[in-house]
């Protein structure tokens, strides 16, 4: 008989044991259920199922009181020891899983490191010291090429459709406010803020990489058909010269302010609709099976869980 009862105790579920311990502490179904974040009827069913599995009565319940039976008192200490052993085991497992090893190669836009990379990487390295994070700085197109050619695992990039973007998965972080960029000699250079309606009859400069996609969409969305000319700048580092030579303007993500170059005039946009923002994301190739990727993205989600949009200020 004793042997059968001990065997029955072994099959009792951990959540049932926890419920028993809490009820034994409060001897009140309502208070115990509140502490367990369950309903009183649910707690009653758990205790009844536990008693049926063990084959003994654990509590004596009347309209006014709840008391432990003698066997209930006897089992309480053993159940508490079981929970302690179980929790210690889980802690050991968590320590083991936190000691993951491997390497994650991260590509990043060099002028957006502060907003999206520095803090998350620092915390991730502290939490997972055995994982090697290798960081590489890029302009947009070379970053995308290295993602597609498996030279890096994941990269910070604009969440837009471009050639071969269907080979990538984009894990959106947040939106970033766009700003106007022009030369210091342009008539709007002394302005702190401007509306799109004021930008008629201006030369438009587009950066000849994936940024051209959202830049073109931005100006088309406001029906600015009176622009005198559209000029292409090779990339972000030649943009300053093109703006100066053409006296044109363009729209860029506000993190360009981190370039700290005095030959740009950067002006905030008064308008605040969706066209004034660009989605930022960490992208990775669909067939990349590096197990560190989901771990890193879960960490990123936690870091940015309260961030809906970013605007880098002067």
* C-alpha to C-alpha distances, 259 to 2, 107, 111, 219, 256, nearest whole angstrom: 76, 18, 6, 24, 6
Considering only CA atoms, which of 301, 305, 300 is closest in space to residue 120?
300
Residues 43, 90 within the same domain: yes
Q: Which two tokens stand for residue 126?
A: 């502290």
Residues 192, 124 within the same domain: no
Residues 163, 288 within the same domain: yes
Residues 242, 293 within the same domain: no
Which one is predicted more confidently, 8 or 299? 299
Q: Whole domain around residue 14: which residue ranges? A: 2-97
Question: Considering the domain boundaries, does residue 19 fall inside one?
Answer: yes
* Longest CA span, the chain: 95
Residues 92, 7 within the same domain: yes
Looking at residue 300, which CATH number applies to its domain?
A: 3.40.190.10
Length of the chain: 314
Domain end marker among 97, 127, 159: 97
pLDDT score of 5 more than 50: no
Domain end marker among 97, 114, 134: 97
First-to-last C-alpha distance (Å) of the chain? 79
pLDDT score of 233 more than 50: yes
Contact 239, 181 (CB under 8 A): yes
Range with lowest mean pLDDT among 83-97, 112-126, 265-279: 83-97
pLDDT at 93: 66
Mean pLDDT value across residues 20-40 = 89
pLDDT score of 215 more than 80: yes
For the chain, the average pLDDT equals 87
Rounded CA separation 55/145 (Å): 66
Mean pLDDT value across residues 218-240 = 79
pLDDT at 175: 94
Give exposure, 252-262, as e/b (b: 16+ Cβ within 10 Å): bbbbbbebeee
How many structural domains comprise the chain? Answer: 3
Question: Considering the domain boundaries, does residue 259 fall inside one?
Answer: yes
Contact 193, 270 (CB under 8 A): yes
With cut-offs at 50, 70 and 90, classify the pLDDT of residue 226: low
Domain end marker among 97, 120, 149: 97
* C-alpha to C-alpha distances, 209 to 81, 131, 135, nearest whole angstrom: 63, 33, 22
pLDDT at 161: 93
pLDDT at 220: 84
Q: Which two tokens stand for residue 177?
A: 């406010």
H-assigned helices in the chain: 2-10, 14-26, 29-36, 40-54, 70-97, 113-116, 118-127, 140-148, 211-221, 236-246, 292-303
pLDDT score of 95 more than 80: no
Question: Considering the domain boundaries, does residue 314 fall inside one?
Answer: no
pLDDT at 3: 41
Residues 268, 196 within the same domain: yes
Question: Considering the domain boundaries, does residue 206 fall inside one?
Answer: yes
Neighbours of 240 (CB within 10 A): 18
pLDDT at 101: 84
For the stretch 156-210, pLDDT in tens is 999 999 999 999 999 999 999 999 999 999 999 999 999 988 888 888 999 999 9
pTM of the model: 0.66
| CA torsion through residues 30, 31, 33, 39, sign | positive
Instruction: Give the 3-state secondary structure of 38-74.
Output: CCHHHHHHHHHHHHHHHCCCCEEECCCCEEECHHHHH
pLDDT at 98: 55
């Amino acid at each position: 008989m004793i042997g059968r009862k001990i065997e029955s105790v072994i099959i009792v579920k951990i959540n049932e044991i926890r419920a028993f311990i809490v009820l034994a502490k409060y001897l009140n179904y309502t208070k115990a259920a509140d502490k367990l974040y369950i309903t009183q009827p649910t707690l009653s069913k758990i205790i009844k199922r536990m008693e049926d599995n063990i084959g003994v009565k654990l509590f004596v319940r009347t309209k006014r009181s709840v008391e432990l039976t003698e066997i209930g008192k006897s089992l309480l200490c053993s159940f508490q020891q079981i929970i302690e052993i179980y929790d210690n085991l889980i802690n050991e497992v968590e320590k083991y899983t936190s000691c993951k090893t491997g390497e994650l190669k991260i590509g990043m836009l060099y002028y957006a490191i502060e907003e999206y990379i520095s803090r998350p990487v620092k915390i991730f390295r502290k939490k997972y010291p055995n994982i090697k994070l290798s960081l590489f700085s890029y302009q947009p197109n070379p970053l995308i090429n290295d993602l597609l050619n498996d030279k890096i695992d994941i990269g910070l990039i604009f969440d837009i459709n471009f050639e071969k973007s269907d080979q990538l998965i984009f894990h959106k972080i947040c939106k970033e406010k766009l700003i106007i960029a022009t030369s210091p000699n342009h008539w709007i250079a002394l302005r702190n803020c401007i509306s799109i309606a004021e930008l008629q009859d201006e030369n438009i400069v587009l950066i000849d990489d994936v940024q051209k996609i959202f830049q073109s969409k931005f100006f088309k969305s406001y029906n600015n058909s009176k622009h005198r000319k559209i000029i292409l700048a090779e990339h972000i580092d030649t943009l300053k010269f093109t703006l100066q030579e053409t006296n044109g303007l363009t729209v860029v993500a506000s993190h360009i302010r981190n370039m700290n170059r005095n030959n740009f005039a950067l002006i905030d946009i008064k308008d605040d609709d969706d066209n004034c923002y660009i989605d930022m994301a960490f992208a990775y190739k669909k067939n990349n099976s590096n197990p560190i990727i989901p771990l890193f993205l879960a960490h990123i989600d936690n870091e940015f869980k309260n961030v809906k949009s970013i605007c880098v200020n002067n």
